[in-house]
Amino acid sequence: MEEEKDPIKELRLGQKIKGLRSSMRLSLKEVAEKAGLTEPVLSQIENDIVPPTIAALARIGRALKVELGYFFQKEPLGGEIEVVRRDERKIVRRQRTLGSTPLSYSYQSLAYRKTCRNMQPFLIEFDLDIQEEIPSLSHEGEEFLYLLEGELEFRTEKEGIILHEGDSLYFDSQISHAFYGRGKKKPRAIVVIFTPRD
């Protein structure tokens, strides 16, 4: 029986972060502070113990002066057109364990080989009915979400908005926000993140 490949290990997110940080001669503490993370969390991400959220990756990328797409590339391609076939997508999932921070989604980059892009498109599947409070996230830029199926709650400090299949959402991602899957079917959405360059 063929052993199932671990897409997180294939992407080598932690190794890429650690290698880039080392090449820039930055300490764990410096990058953690710039990215708004704690040193233990960044260390766990670098050692591929805890997969990062998209927001955390965006902040780490900004701290290390690379685009979000850098972390999803195997080989840099300079073409003007990028096609990612269904079977080429890499899924990043976090396994929820007792006492860990709940994560409300798993994600797949839909254009991970395209370099120098302004938009970061993802296919996201949200977990259902998490009882714990999900920490709100924020990062520079803007986000667009189109809900393909299911029901999803978008929550900020001021309000909660329920989205249904076919609804879309556009917001400033500096607003502290969290997503909660609702209903009986795991919500799936196309999310496009724009992160401004320095």
| pLDDT tens figures, 46-70 | 988 888 888 888 889 889 988 877 7
- Tokens in use for 44? 């766990």
Parent domain of 177? 7-194
- The size of the chain, in residues, is 198
In a domain, 120, yes or no: yes
| pLDDT tens figures, 88-105 | 877 776 555 444 555 667
In a domain, 49, yes or no: yes
| pLDDT tens figures, 134-147 | 778 888 889 999 99
In a domain, 1, yes or no: no
Put residue 183 in one of left, alpha, beta given phi > 0 → left and psi -120 to 50 → alpha.
left
In a domain, 177, yes or no: yes
In a domain, 2, yes or no: no
What type of residue sits at position 115? T
Q: In CATH, what number is assigned to the domain containing residue 190?
A: 2.60.120.10
Number of folded domains that form the chain: 1
191 with 108: CB under 8 angstroms?
no
In a domain, 169, yes or no: yes
